[in-house]
Amino acid sequence: MNEFIAIDESSFEKNVLKSEIPLLLEFGAPWCRPCKSLEPILSRLEQEWDGRMRVARLNVDECVNLTMRFQVISVPTTILFVGGEEKARFTGLQKPDRIREQIAPYL
């Protein structure tokens, strides 16, 4: 499994908002079972996207301000940022085909 970029309050702007390629950010938590199930799916998709998209992880327990800023009320919530703007969002455990469908227009 690829190691996701770890995002926190101090790295958010540089690694998410200023990312040169689309970035899929998973808002999750270590205690979240659906998050743990989603992460291998995201890892496989990141390999499939082969440098056209990156995946990052944010711990909602440690990044309360960002969690509130993006109105994340359930984990996992995954948000696609392109050019610093939110372009797609899905909540809960998703099948790979559903994620591909939402992300494809931005690759």
Question: What pTM did the predictor assign?
Answer: 0.94
- pLDDT digit string, tens, across residues 92-105: 999 999 999 999 99
Q: Using the Cα atoms of residue 77, residue 65, residue 44 and residue 106 in order, give the sign of their dihedral.
A: positive
Helices 96-103 and 33-49 pack at an angle, to 10 degrees, of 50
> Given a cut of 60, is residue 1 above it in pLDDT?
no
Q: Using the Cα atoms of residue 85, residue 88, residue 92 and residue 97 in order, give the sign of their dihedral.
A: negative
Helices (H) and strands (E) in the chain, counts: 4, 5
- pLDDT digit string, tens, across residues 50-80: 999 999 999 999 999 999 999 999 999 999 9
pLDDT at 2 (0 to 100): 54
Q: Where are the alpha helices (DSSP H) in the chain?
A: 12, 33-49, 64-69, 96-103
Point out the residues that are catalytic.
Answer: 32, 35
pLDDT at 31 (0 to 100): 97
- Going along the chain from its start, the domains and CATH numbers come out as 5-106 (3.40.30.10)
How long a stretch of residues is the chain? 107
